[in-house]
Amino acid sequence: MPEPLRVALSVDALGPRLTGIGRYSRELTQRLPLDPRLAEVRFFRGRQWLENPLALLDDRATRPRATGRGVIAHIARRIRPPTIVHAPNYFLPVWAKPGRGVATIHDLSVFLYPETHPAERIAAFEKHFTDTLARAALLLTDSEWNRRELIAFAGLEAHKVRAVPLGVGPEYRPRSAVELAAPLARLGLTPGRYGLCVSTLEPRKRIDCLLDAWQALPAAVRSRFPLALAGAPGWQNTNLVSRIEQARAEGWLIFLGYVPEPDLPLVHAGARVFAYPSRYEGFGLPPLEAMASGVPTIVAPDTCVAEVTAGGARVVDVEDATRFSDALCEAIEDGSGRTGAIASGAAVAQRYTWEACISSTIDAYQELVH
């Protein structure tokens, strides 16, 4: 009989302000211990074991208590075989044993679009990425698109890379205007009366294209349905921030900044249309979450997002401001096309669940030890 499977999970992406990778890490942290196929799940950050990693999500909490002496050698000694060491945020720790390391590679944007990333991120990938690819027994990607891309980019054997799609939580669902009115009012929003984009303000997200298209809407539409932008500040965005401020002054843009996790599903559900013009992603959770929330969604072509949304979102050339603006206007206005977009988006979004993501992740673990 094989020994029970144990997992050591890195939680370095957990924090009070979660990115997409942080949300993925949170789901792993919460759900892996509940699966009976795993005998033990332990959590580490840097050189320390953590007893309560979810405390990292609360910036008011005390720092999670670490066990052990905080040295690499001590961590390695505490690993009992067969243990999978999973790094959900690209880089395996140096102490991960051969044949047991799993790393999730979310995208290759650092290499494909280096001009859109800060220098410190590029330096981290130059230092750690190749080593992780060489030492990992298995690599996970968020989409089949990204899997094919990683295999071709790094010259990897196909069996070493497995696509495990991310999931959409049940909190992303259609909601009534009555349910949304009070919480959205606190953010300066009215249910059904705004467009939405949830994205970090960084160059490859092409928020500038969205601003061009929204500005090209008829004045009456733009006035009645302002664009709401939600997301972290990002980088290399000085000109973009200036444009956002100008649009705010003109009254057709509401800048929400980072929206706390409990409010994000409500903000999605209250939108009239959701736009995601990013030129490159590894998966693209926000469009799926919008589709699950009953919101017509528009994405850019030639990305994994168009593949992942699988016909549930409208694909538009976002660099053509006129076409993009026309698509936005059609999604905003009433009609049978809007009803069909909502139905097709919901049908696609329901295929993606965190339960399926976690189950497939454990399937991948088991392949390494059996």
Query: Once rounded to an integer, what is the mean pLDDT over residues 358-365?
Result: 96
What pLDDT does 113 receive? 87
Q: Beta partners for 195? A: 227, 273
| Rounded CA separation 106/141 (Å) | 6
Among 126, 329, 111, 293, CA closest to 204: 111
Average the pLDDT over 83-87 and give the result: 94
Write out the two tokens for 185. 């009012």
How much of the chain exceeds pLDDT 70, in percent? Answer: 92
Q: Would the pLDDT of 71 be above 60? A: no
Give backbone dihedrals phi and psi of 234, rounded to 5 degrees, phi first.
Answer: 80, -150
Closest to 35 (Cα-Cα) out of 64, 4, 63: 4
Residue 82 pLDDT > 80: no
Render pLDDT for 124-149 as a digit per residue (tens, 0 to 9): 999 999 999 999 999 999 999 999 99
pLDDT bracket for residue 95 (50, 70, 90): confident
Joined tokens for residue 166: 């991310």
DSSP 200-245: -SSGGG-HHHHHHHHHTS-HHHHHHSPEEEES---SS-HHHHHHHH
Per-residue model confidence as pLDDT tens digits over 340-354 = 999 999 999 999 999
pLDDT in tens, 153-202: 999 999 999 999 999 999 999 999 999 999 999 999 999 999 999 998 88
CA distances 181 to 177, 220, 270, Å, are 6, 23, 9
**Full set of structural domains in the chain with CATH:** 5-167+353-369 (3.40.50.2000), 177-349 (3.40.50.2000)
Structure token digits, residue 366: 């088991």
Report pLDDT for 69.
45
pLDDT digits (tens, 9 = 90+) for 221-272: 999 999 999 987 765 677 888 899 999 999 999 999 999 999 999 999 999 9
Please write the tens of the pLDDT for every residue from 4-59. 799 999 999 999 988 889 999 999 999 999 999 999 999 999 888 999 999 999 87
CA dist 7 and 258 (Å) reads 32
Mean of pLDDT over the chain: 90
**How many C-beta atoms lie closer than 10 Å to residue 297's C-beta?**
30
> Tokens in use for 355?
């339960």
Q: Is 115 exposed, middle or buried (0-12, 13-18, 19+ CB in 10 A)?
A: exposed
Q: Read out DSSP for 32-77?
A: GGG-TTEEEEEEEETTEEES-GGGGG-TTSPPPPEES-S-HHHHHH
Question: For residue 193, what are its two tokens?
Answer: 């009366």
Residue 61 is predicted with a pLDDT of: 52
> Which residue type, as a one-letter code, is found at position 192?
G
Contact between 15 and 56 (Cβ < 8 Å): yes
Cα 102 from Cα 361, distance rounded (Å): 10
Residue 313 near residue 298 (C-beta atoms within 8 A): yes
At 299 the three-state DSSP class reads: strand
Question: Between vectors from CA 345 to CA 359 and to CA 30, what angle results, nearest 5°?
Answer: 30
pLDDT of amino acid 116: 78
Is the predicted pLDDT of residue 1 greater than 60, yes or no? no
More confident residue, 117 or 225: 225
pLDDT of residue 124: 92
Q: Which amino acid is at 137?
A: A
